[in-house]
Structure formats: C-alpha cells, structure tokens
Structure 1
C-alpha cells in the first residue's frame, strides 16, 4: 500500500505500511533486504515483542524486584524481536518463494519479484540470526536454552500451512515464546504464570492471524494452502469470540498466579490489563467485515495497540 495510489519506490511490497521508512529513507542497496525482513511492515515486530514485555513486567510483579538488568532485558527484547522477526520472515520467504509468486498480495515480495536471490536471502538470514544470538548470550542460562529451543517452531511454521488447517497455532507457538524466555531471564527459572501467559498469547495470535489470513483466503484455496480463515469461513466471527475469551481468561489467570493476591489493590490494577486487551478485541470484532480486505489489514495492524494496553496497568501495579 502506498500514499496517493502511487509507489514511493520501485520494488515496494504490496502490503507495506504507508509512508514506511524503508521505501523513503533506507539506502537503495539495503531496501530489498529490509523488505525481506518486513522492516517496511513493523506490525510483526510489535506482535513478537509485546509478549516479551508482558512476561518481563509480570515476572517483576511476581517477585517484586526491579533490577538494572531488567532495563537491558527490555531493550534487548526490542532489538531481538526486530532481528528474529526479520530472520523468521526471511526463512518464511525462502520456503514460500514458489507459493508467494502465485498470490496477488505476496507476489511483490523480494524473492518472487527477483529483488533478492535465494543465496542472498540465506546469507541475510544468517547475519540476522547471529546478531540475535549474540544478544541472547547476555541472558541467563535458562533463557539461552529457551532461545535456542525457539528455533524449532520458527523452522516448522512456514511448512505448517501445507499439512494442517491450524498453521496459526504454530505461529502462536513461535511468536509468544518470548513470554517464557523473558520470564526466565528475569527470574532464572520457568514457572506456571509464564506458561499460562504464553497460552494467552497463543489465543491472541489465533485471533489476529485468522483475521490476517482472510485477506488471502481465495488465493489460498486456489493453490491448496491451509489456514484457520479457510477452515472457519463464514463462522470465523464465532471462533474469534472464542479466542478472545480464551486470551482474556488465560491472561487473567496468569496475573492472579503471578501476584498470588498479596496486594489486592495492585492485583486489581494489574487485572485491568487483560480486560483492556479484551475490550480492544471486542472493538475489532464489531468492525470485522470478512469481505473488506483493506479493513482486515487495518484490524490486524491494530493489534499493536491491543497488545500495548496491558503494559501500563502492569507497570502501575508495580508501584501500588
């Protein structure tokens, strides 16, 4: 998408964010690689980052401790989310290069459009992964182990739509892993509140990525690619309501487990976080039109704001 109906730059990707910095300001030679990493579409980085920040703040609420190292965890999550989202998207585009060329929305991506070779994409993948790994090595041992284990769902996800109607589950496994990793980075161990928060994130992913997948439902049907959008069809709103309820209930349970009711006022403030998330998801459902492709993309992107909503309540609860 581009302002005024015109491309700001030859090679711009069809669903890139309007006025994105890559098309307008990045050096020309780097633009194809940054597009490969979806740097022109930052919503994915946000969706990977937000469960990390949820996990960090909830871990701080759990043990009542805030350290200088937590500031580094907060910053490292942002850098790592950008790099690992970029590496994951690069891997996805390498594996999907033949499929992407057959789908209108993805045919303009760097590999099917010829902007980047497969060899060049592989090299770019390695660079991003190595820098992310260097950052991971600054974390405690448990977090490092979880970070390495996260590569398994990342590697599997691009193939999931070939063998299951539920590829969004695999995306949820990969995209919410940060909740587990960051909890362990703060506490040094993995505990039940983090696991329940992780499951809440997975329900949220099923919600927003089903909306996203409806953009391609017709093309996916023609080429035999599976998705929850195709599986649910016209029944998608009913399923989205179920995912909404699951996300709110599970995040509420995670907050209760983490805080253990030691401070009722702080607990009440923190509980406003999942309720705020749920209200935003309800707002999305009220505006859902499965036949409105631009509207679907706008709703999907609005999940950055939905995921940000719990954070101020968790942060305020730290000081109550």
Structure 2
C-alpha cells in the first residue's frame, strides 16, 4: 500500500486509477495536489485576459496552452525541488512519505521524469510569440535557484513569487509579442499574493523547519503573520487595480475586485497559524481568490469594449 502524503487527499485519482509503477512519478509532479498548478496558471490567465486577444479562438488557444504548460512546468519544478530537498523532506513529518525520501522513486528516475516534463513545457512554449519564448527561457534561472533559498534567506517565499508569477509577463507577451507597464505591475501583484498564501502554507512546517534549520517567512514573522498578510494582500489588490488602469480597463474591474479583497480578508482574519490543516485549507482557498481576480479583469474588458453598431 502506498504511504499517504499528508497534504494529499487519501482517495485521490492517482491512488484510484494510476498503474503502480507510475504512481511515485505522478506524485513527484503533485498531480494529486492540483492547487499548485492553479496558482502557477492563474497569473498567466490574468495576463492573457489583461491583454485580451481580439479573437475568441485565439483566447481559447492561449488559455489551453498555458494550462498545459503550467501543469508540465509545475510538475517539473516540483520534481526538481524534491530532488534537491530529498534529505530535508525525510526529516519533516508532512513530507517524509514523498516518493524520494520514502524510496518509492529513484533519483535517476526523477531526473528522467523531470526531462520529460520539461520537453512538454518546451513544446508548449514554442507555440507562443518570440517575446514569450524568450521570457519563458528567462524564467529558468528563477526556477533553478528557488529550492536552495530556504537554506540562505528567511524569505524563500519571495523567490517563489518571482518564479511562480512569471506567467504574468508571458501572457501579455503571448498576445502582443511585446512588453508594457501593465503586465509588469501585474507581476508585482502576483508576487505580493504569493508572499501571502505561501507564508500561510509555510506555517505547516515551522516546527520541523526550526529543528532542521530551514528558514521561511512563517518562522521569521511568527506572531506578526496576520499584519503581514493584511499588508501583502492589500498590495495585491491595489496593484491588480493599477495594472487594469494601465491597460485601459473600465470601472467594473475596481468594483469586482471587492470580492477577491473580501476573500483575502477572510483568510487573514480566520487563519489559525498553529493548525496545519487550517493553514492548508486557507492556502488551497487561493484558487478561488485567483479566479475572482480573473473574473474582475474580464469584467473590466467587457465594459470597456465598444458597443456593436
């Protein structure tokens, strides 16, 4: 019987349907825990929506490509992260049953699986504009250094934000083959968002992290986490609004941003940083936060569009 991974559902689709030899590698990619794919994908979709292709078919094509790319590259990033962190993961209660520390997958097999996922990501990337391709290549450095940051800085969540929100630049480039202030500001909004949700996530491991010497914003902030969440989530909403203004979106954007702002406020008020399950639940709730931001951007475009004659 496969050992249960703490933050995965006990009856997830991998356990129910995947062949036994595949299971550890699908788990390396976190395909049993899709929230990370959503959090990587949503800034891409925000940016595509901010630029808004002129054709519905092109919009659908880009949303699909970024969906496939996010799944592949999140899987590749998680596989690389687990290769780098396999010894630390074996010392942390939440992660000790992951495929590498538990011995259910080999390091060599993990590297091969990483390569397969990277090739899928490359195939998707080459369907985009030249500017988006170069931006995609440029993100690889951030992906490579992130797993090491917890050894050197109290703020690995910042480096995750830099890597995870790169799609906020790429989505715009995939539509326009260019760069502008609006996606740059949207990228900053995503970084602040990540600082919030990943600090909540990091509170799950703070006791084990302290024992083994791993750093995180959760350990650095401690009891000051709640004021920090108020600040970074407020900056997220302000910067999304500013990016919409720079892109010429209409007033419904600002009205609709009340909903993700309220959802972030709920997280901030209700999160119990000493309850790992509650931290995991609040972290997962950010899928809805991101979808509400996407809806707000779409509404801003609908109201800004000229009326048909």
Q: Does the pair score TM above 0.5? A: yes
The equivalent position to 1:188 in structure 2, one of 177, 199, 204, is 177
TM-score normalised by the chain length of structure 1: 0.92
Contact 2:257/2:296 (CA < 8 Å) preserved in 1?
no
How does 1:266-305 map onto structure 2 within 5 Å?
Answer: 267-305=250-288
Greater CA drift, 202-211 or 25-34: 25-34
Contact kept, 8 Å, 1:193 with 1:255, in 2: the verdict is yes
**Alignment of 1:10 onto 2:2:** yes
Deviation at 1:67, TM superposition (A): 5.1
2:297 is aligned to: 314
State the aligned residue count: 303
Displacement, 1:156?
A: 0.4
Instruction: Map 1:133-172 to 2 at 5 A.
Output: 133-172=122-161
Distance 1:220 1:254 in 2: 36
- Please give the residue correspondences for 1:112-151 in structure 2 after superposition, counting only pairs within 5 Å: 112-151=101-140
After TM superposition, give the deviation of residue 296 of structure 1 in Å.
Answer: 0.7
Between the aligned partners of 1:175 and 1:133, the Cα distance in structure 2 is 17
What is the distance in 1 between the residues matched to 2:243 and 2:257?
A: 10
Gaps of 5+ in 1: 1-8, 260-265
The question of whether the paired residues in 2 share the 8 Å contact of 1:52 and 1:179 is answered with yes
Q: CA deviation at 1:66?
A: 3.5
Pick which of 221-230 and 20-29 moved more.
20-29
2:108 is aligned with 1:108? no
Render the CA deviation track for 1:275-300: whole Å, top value 9, x for unaligned. Answer: 32211110111211111111111000
Q: Does 1:23 align with 2:15?
A: yes
1:226 alignment counterpart: 215
Query: Does the residue aligned with 2:257 lie in a helix, a strand or coil?
Result: helix
The Cα RMSD (Å) is 1.3
